[in-house]
Amino acid sequence: MIQYLKYNQGSLTVDKTYSKDCCWVHITPDLNSADVETFAKEFEIPSDFIVDSLDIDERSRYEVEDGVRLILVNTPVLNLNDSNNNEAIYITVPVGIILVEDFIITITQKDNPIIDKFLNDRIKNFNPKDKKMFVLQLFHHNVLHFLDGLKKLNIKRNLIEQELYNSSRNEELKQLLRIEKSLVYFVNSLSSNELLMMKMKRTDYLEIRDLEEHTDLFEDVIIDNGQALEMSNVYTNILSGTMEAYASIVSNNLNKFIHRLTVITIILMVPTLVASFYGMNLQHLPLSGNKYAFYILIFVSILLGFILIWFFRRNQKID
């Protein structure tokens, strides 16, 4: 679907056809190849720019061709396609930003909450006619969305850890793995976004070097992106340490259980051995003619069991 947006008196209006008043065009993924080619020819845009923006595996980068500029930046979205709760909670998808002479084009492969904020006019001082500021604001809110996702993942990790202290169910471990996968997406995307922004700043790709307000915002975005990347690395390391520690705890508990089971087996083996001798169909066994033989054997078996318990406790083999 293609939305043509106009900006009048501080509000956005949407049309289904293009007009000269249009300052922003937003494209969502339900386009076939014929629609892509038609749109690209109509506005003299390389069709590869649109196709690359719809590729979920595309990395953050910028490109210039025939005077048209493309920016691809990765953004976090909730993974709504995970029906079995085995995949990452968050994944990252690219947003394509195409800068042409008269307007700006954004392209998303999935419904994107960051773009939705702009479409619903929930961004302060947003004016799509200022294309450079639009790009910087999109970068800014993208970083904020990363930070918000990181905080939610960290809260979820803390809650799962508290549950793991009281239980050892596989469900909690699966949730930790989902968080770990999400953090991998975050680290990779934030790293590529940081490289993108550093290159854009160095080459003055947006031509904002003499615009103080734009330059200050871009600096803040780069700093916030670095903070988000650092937080992602810290949370990843904490989670890895937690998983390793929990694996060690499980292994240690298993060793203790096997040790106790072995001691109990040895303690029960001696009375069982005594009883097995008297289970043989043989003559001249001790106490075979004694009418109290059964009670004596029971007493001896219990006594041997207690002696073994005392021996193991003395040698700290059992708690």
Q: Which residues in the chain come in under a pLDDT of 70? A: 82-84, 165-169, 280-284, 287-289, 316-319
**Confidence (pLDDT) at 107:** 92
Query: By the 8 A CB rule, do 77 and 113 touch?
Result: yes
Tell me the per-residue pLDDT of 123-134, one tens digit each, with 9 for 90 and over. 888 888 899 999
Q: What is the pLDDT of residue 270?
A: 79
Q: Are residues 236 and 97 in the same domain?
A: yes
Residue 155, token pair as written in the block? 């809260």
Same-domain check for residues 129 and 213: yes
In a domain, 194, yes or no: yes
Residue 262's pLDDT is 83
Within a domain: 301: yes
Q: Are 197 and 244 contained in the same domain?
A: yes
- Domain assignment present for residue 319? The answer is no
* Contact by Cβ (8 Å): 43, 16: no
Residues 6+ away with beta carbon under 8 Å from 103: 22, 23, 24, 25, 128, 131
Indicate the residue among 209, 235, 251 that finishes a domain.
Answer: 251
Provide the 10 A C-beta neighbour count for residue 201. 17
- Domain count of the fold of the chain: 2
Cβ contacts of residue 42 below 8 Å, gap of 6+?
18
Range of the domain at 297: 252-314
The beta-carbon contacts of 154-162 under 8 Å, at least 24 apart in sequence, are 154/235, 156/89, 157/235, 157/238, 157/239, 157/242, 161/242
Check whether residue 95 and residue 172 sit in a common domain. Answer: yes
- Domain stops at, among 234, 251, 268: 251
User: Are 90 and 149 spatial neighbours (Cβ–Cβ below 8 Å)?
Assistant: yes
Q: Is 73 helix (H, G, I), strand (E, B) or coil?
A: strand
What is the b/e burial string over 53-76, where b = at least 16 CB atoms within 10 angstroms of the residue's CB?
bbeeebbbebeeeeebbbbbbbbb
- Domain containing 283 — which CATH number? 1.20.58
Q: Provide φ and ψ at 287, rounded to 5°.
A: 65, 15
Q: Tell me the pairing of strands 68-78 and 61-65.
A: antiparallel
